[in-house]
Amino acid sequence: MNAMHTEEQPKIAVVTGAGSGIGRAVAVELLRAGWSVALAGRRPATLEETAALVPGAAALTARTDVSRPEEVDALFAATVERFGRLDLLFNNAGTFGPGGVPVEELPYDAWRHVVDTNLNGAFLCAQAAYRQMKEQDPRGGRIINNGSISAHTPRPMSVAYTATKHALTGLTKALSLDGRPYGIAVGQIDIGNAATDMTSRMQTGALQANGEIAPEPVMDVADVARTVRHMAELPLEANVQFATVLATAMPYVGRG
């Protein structure tokens, strides 16, 4: 039977960028639902804070820079050593990069940092998850990539972020196709204006396509977490290929 787990088997997840924002919300949602979760991120203290939000849950904290192959390999090795297998990767770690910088003034180092984190990091984690899911018994698992509304429609002066989020869509499609023979389901969630520290400026004023600065509505990040959990807990025979979850009144449809 090609199922992610039986009732007796725990569900095992890796969540990157788990120390704050969407990653923290998703990790907490999964832990409260009984998942065992490896919490990955660059700041050990914030990972410990995430784990402490669900006392007694099966959480592993792993200091990880997803742009470094050796650290990604160590993350997945530690996860399998602790929990025995891998059922889910939530590929969430990401950065906006410098905001409000015109493309002609964007330093190459800043561009490279965004690409290394958002795209290369997502690839490295997906590759490591894919290798594990392909070889484990029972075989298979699920990868959910955190895209963005910017995977569809860019904001002004966001060339690095937008380019990487468009690339994530290609990564999702290619992984989904290549994973079919091995029971690896791959999908993407594109999120708009979830209330986190990274989006706090939206409520005070964000640059619009017409050059104006205007506040934008946000939504509770817990609603995003519940959506990810729904995607994660589907049987492997079913897959949400793309989901878009956004603040209902944000300027997305028709913006620009």
34-43, 80-89, 96-105: the lowest-pLDDT one:
96-105
Query: Does residue 63 register a pLDDT over 60?
Result: yes
CA dist., res. 113 & res. 104, Å (int): 17
The interaxial angle of helices 121-135 and 159-179, nearest 10 deg, is 10
**pTM for the whole structure:** 0.91
Q: Which of 108, 161, 182, 252 is catalytic?
A: 161
pLDDT of residue 166: 96
The residues, any chain, with a CB within 8 Å of residue 213's CB and separated by 6 or more, are: 205, 206, 207
As a whole-number percent, the residues of the chain with pLDDT over 70 amount to: 93
Query: Does residue 203 register a pLDDT over 90?
Result: no
Query: Does residue 138 register a pLDDT over 90?
Result: yes
CA dist., res. 184 & res. 10, Å (int): 18
pLDDT of residue 1: 36
Catalytic residue list contains 130: no
